[in-house]
Amino acid sequence: MPAASLETAADPEELPEAGPFDEVAREAVYRAIESRRDVRNEFLPTPIADVVLRRLLAAAHAAPSVGLSQPWSFILVREPETKRRVAEIFGRRNAEAATMFEGERADAYRRLKLEGIETAPLNICVVCDRARGGPVVLGRTHQRDVDLYSTVCAVQNFWLAARAEGIGVGWVSIFEPDDLKPVFGLPHHVAVVAYLCVGHVDRLHGRPELEARRWGARAPLADVVSDERWGAGSLLFER
């Protein structure tokens, strides 16, 4: 394809400005990021209105993707029987996971509520079609897994938009991805990236639940930023 055909035909004057949001809009974005929580046990039975769900899915679909391949698809799960099958898979895998911890840690793990599969009015299985875009995708020529990362970006978009709408989201990860393939009839080239429990909530934890339960603590930002090389620290936090 000639390079000229890839150039935009848009008049630069027609492009939106790239300046900062006004203070109110900017604070709303940061509030969504900072107050987002993984919801497990707080779902209300109220169904999500179709107009709201379409907005959330549109936000997910607006995510960046490698080579504009848009590899994601969203399977909406409402039927109790489907949820039950997924919950049974989780139950088996969660029992396995519990054996990987020892002593007090194992006891603490078993007390955690780690999913809301049958409680949430809506589940969403987010998958990545690894064949979408053809055998050669711009930007994926040397890093094959960036299609999976693109799909994760769609999940994050969905999650932040859900927070803005007052909708809770919980990401269930305690199963082997291939466990869900027969449940949803997925072909071999389609990978499960996320299984989400989604529904209205009337409250959220003030801080991550695992932090509140002393399972772990958020690392200081300065501990994960370096200048130029791994582990060098950053002058950004010394000024």
Question: What is the domain-level CATH number for residue 127?
Answer: 3.40.109.10
- Structural domain containing residue 114: 39-203
Residues 6+ apart with CB under 8 A from 187: none
Average pLDDT over residues 121-131: 98
What DSSP character marks residue 236? G
Local confidence band at 7 (pLDDT 50, 70, 90 cut-offs): low
Beta strands in the chain, from DSSP E residues, in sequence order: 72-77, 122-129, 167-172, 190-200
Amino acid 174: pLDDT:
96
- The 10 Å CB-count burial string (b at 16+, else e) for 138-170 is eebeeeeebbeebbebbbebbbbbbbbbebbbb
Q: Quote the CA–CA distance of 25 and 21 in Å, as a whole number.
A: 6
8 pLDDT band, cuts 50/70/90, is: low
In a domain, 72, yes or no: yes
Identify whether 130 is part of a domain: yes
Q: Per-residue pLDDT averaged across 105-109, rounded?
A: 91
Kindly indicate the confidence band of residue 120, based on its pLDDT and cuts at 50, 70 and 90.
very high
Record the pTM. Answer: 0.90
Q: Give the count of domains, the chain.
A: 1
* pLDDT tens digits, 178-213: 999 999 999 999 999 999 999 999 988 888 888 878
In a domain, residue 135? The reply is yes
